[in-house]
Structure 1
Amino acid sequence: MSTNTFHLNQLIPMAEIQPSAPAAKDGKPRARKVGFHLDMAPMVDLAFLLLTFFMLTTTFSKPTVMTLNMPEPDIRNTAVPESRALTLILGKHNQVHYFFGVNDASSHPALHTTTFAAEGLRQVLLDRQRQQPGSVVLIKSSDEANYQNLVDALDEMSITNQKKYALVNLDRTDRELLKKNGL
């Protein structure tokens, strides 16, 4: 009965030295040349373990969201006093056109233009907040405005701590006001 015994180094050779016999033609002993072979499998295993470890322990970037409270569905028309309203019209080329009050057939508001820079829209909102606390900002988007303009306007509402603001559709009187001012 024979027993087969295996040693660990026989099963998984990690590195082995392969001696090569010296060729002595003239009978003089020469130095042995030793060949070296490195098994890369353990290093690859270690690389995959490290990769798996870092993938599982990292935290992915969390999306930043802004809470937007919408009115109850049964409230269809909420009147805003003209004295407390600030209307923003998001236009082309990252411009914001604004006027104080609401635009109806009887009023002819003066239209002003600014940008989304800190000294632009933010300053307008802060000045309005100081002059008229509790004002309501009506945000209207024209066809030439892009999505980033709306996001920037909502960010400014959050930065300036506006309590009441609403997204409103651009109506015929607003289009006429823009056309009258050459915009």
Structure 2
Amino acid sequence: MKFQRQRREEININLTPLIDVVFLLLIFFMITTTFTRESHLSISLPEAATNAVNAASEIDAIDVVIGAEGQYSVNELPLVTSDALTLRRAVIKLAGEKRDLPFVITADANAKHQSVVTVMDVAGQLGFSRLSIATQKAGD
């Protein structure tokens, strides 16, 4: 008796559906990705390497001190309220039309970050470009 041998078909894996799925996933992730545009504020920070203070810069600068409770004082004159409008008026009164004066922010270590941001925002709205944050020498 003669049996016919069954021919075995070659086993092939069709990659077309796999490639289609990969491309669909790629398109899905490209479409659903959100692109955020973040704004950054450039600040020139002073170096705290020396203790020398230029007397001329103290006279011709606006120094805003922020206390631990968020109270403001501009050039050693405390403000009645701690809001942006009062701070803005005090800075305008002190600076007049001069917008090239150095604007120094000194904040207590326990002051809220929002208080510092409010001062920076007021300085930016008024057009001050020489903004700096006072530092304390390490070890003091």
Which of 75, 78, 84 is 1:111 aligned to?
A: 78
**Cα-to-partner distance string for 1:58-113 (whole Å, 9 max, x where unaligned):** 432232211122457888745152431222111244332222xxxxxxxxx54334
**1:87 is the counterpart of 2:63:** yes
Letter in 2 for 1:79: N
Which of 144, 148, 153 is 2:119 aligned to?
A: 153
Q: Which runs of 5+ in 1 are unaligned?
A: 1-44, 100-108, 171-183
| 1:94-173 equivalent positions in 2, closer than 5 A | 94-99=70-75, 109-117=76-84, 119-130=85-96, 132-169=98-135
Q: Which runs of 5+ in 2 are unaligned?
A: 1-20
RMSD: 3.6
Q: How many residues align?
A: 116
| Contact 1:138–1:165 (Cα < 8 Å) also in 2 | yes
| Contact 1:88–1:98 (Cα < 8 Å) also in 2 | yes
Tell me the distance in 1 between the aligned counterparts of 2:40 and 2:131.
17
Letter in 2 for 1:96: Y
Identity, in percent, stands at 19
**Structure with higher strand content:** 1
3-state SS, counterpart of residue 96 of structure 2: helix
Structure of higher RCO (CA pairs closer than 8 Å, 6+ residues apart) = 2
Tell me the distance in 1 between the aligned counterparts of 2:73 and 2:108.
10
| Contact 1:85–1:135 (Cα < 8 Å) also in 2 | yes
Letter in 2 for 1:146: K
State the partner residue of 1:56.
Answer: 30
Seen in structure 2, the aligned counterparts of structure 1 residues 83 and 154 have a Cα distance that, compared at 3 Å, is: same
How far did 1:141 drift?
A: 0.7
State the partner residue of 2:43.
Answer: 68
How far did 1:161 drift?
A: 1.5
What TM-score, normalized to structure 2?
0.57
What TM-score, normalized to structure 1?
0.46
Seen in structure 2, the aligned counterparts of structure 1 residues 53 and 89 have a Cα distance that, compared at 3 Å, is: same
